[in-house]
Amino acid sequence: MRIILLGPPGAGKGTQADMLSKKLFLPHISTGDMLRAVMGSGMELGQKAKAYMDKGQLVPDNIILDIIRDRIGRPDCREGYLLDGFPRTLPQAEALDAMLAANDNAIDVVLNIQVPLELLLERLTGRRGCLQCGTIYHQLYSPTKTEGLCDACGGSLYQRTDDCEASVQKRLEVYEVQTAPLIAYYEKRKTLQFINGNQPAHAVMLELGQVLGLDWEKD
Ligand code: AMP
């Protein structure tokens, strides 16, 4: 099954993709995570991507498409995957369709996680992650017991550089202009499903299960 998780930054795509990946045994492919990994590696490509990411801008389509082409061509993607944060522009969506069509494949479902835009600024600027184990917290909604330290492993918490207010404002603008048009694109292809992302993560997951025709209540 090939699934796209669509939605604005801060909608919870990463959290839901992580949970879905475990339930469906499909790889979770996050272009944001892949770019951050390249940035950490010190490669030139990472430096190039960082300049866009820190400002809240999109990394150019050609860079992203090279990364995706390589990733979805790997053996663990044969049975499908979950795309999180890709596609983000119409040219990316069209290129993905062309890549898949060349192998007689297609996207099965696009899950559009909806959250009112006015809630996203608070969600994103309060987000903190553990440097060691990656667990995500929120200063207001899910604070750690000891400030600045991860409950799970004691690691230090950090804030993504693009979660500062100026970058978040830019990312939300970029979403409206460049990514939101994908909703109409996938609606036309009859692959789109709407999910209410303005509820606790577990409730979002149950809704995703219903939409996918899977009964997770009993799990
Ligand atoms: P995310 O972790 O999905 O919020 O992505 C963080 C940042 O990585 C974005 O603000 C972009 O700068 C960059 N990025 C991630 N995915 C894409 C994509 N599909 N196209 C262009 N830029 C991307």
Q: Which amino acid is at 211?
A: V
Q: Does position 217 have pLDDT exceeding 80, yes or no?
A: no
CA of 211 relative to ligand 1 center, distance in Å: 26
Q: In what order do the strands lie in the sheet with 127-130?
A: 136-138, 127-130, 157-158
DSSP alpha helices (H): ranges in 55-140? 61-72, 90-101, 117-125
Tell me, what's the pLDDT at 218?
A: 60
Mean pLDDT of 44-61: 92
Q: Which atom of ligand 1 is nearest to the CA of 35?
A: 8
Tell me, what's the pLDDT at 216?
A: 72
Q: Report pTM.
A: 0.92
Tell me, what's the pLDDT at 42?
A: 82
- Of the listed ranges 34-38, 59-63, 215-219, the least confidently predicted one is 215-219
Tell me, what's the pLDDT at 110?
A: 98
Mean pLDDT of 155-170: 93
Q: What is the largest CA-CA distance in the chain?
A: 52
Question: Of 218 and 173, which is predicted with more confidence?
Answer: 173
pLDDT of 2-45, one tens digit each? 999 999 999 999 999 999 999 999 999 999 999 999 988 888 88
Tell me, what's the pLDDT at 70?
A: 96
* Measured distance between the N- and C-terminal CA atoms of the chain, rounded to whole angstroms: 21
Establish whether 13 is a catalytic residue: yes
Query: Ligand 1, atom 8: nearest CA belongs to which residue?
Result: 32
- Of the listed ranges 39-43, 65-69, 129-133, 215-219, the least confidently predicted one is 215-219
Establish whether 171 is a catalytic residue: yes
∠ CA 55-59-65, rounded to 5°: 165
Give which of 27, 1, 30, 25 is closest to 136, Cα–Cα: 30
Q: Which atom of ligand 1 is nearest to the CA of 84?
A: 3
Task: Give the Å distances, CA to CA, from 42 to 53, 133, 154.
Answer: 15, 21, 26
Establish whether 69 is a catalytic residue: no
Tell me, what's the pLDDT at 27?
A: 98
pLDDT bracket for residue 117 (50, 70, 90):
confident
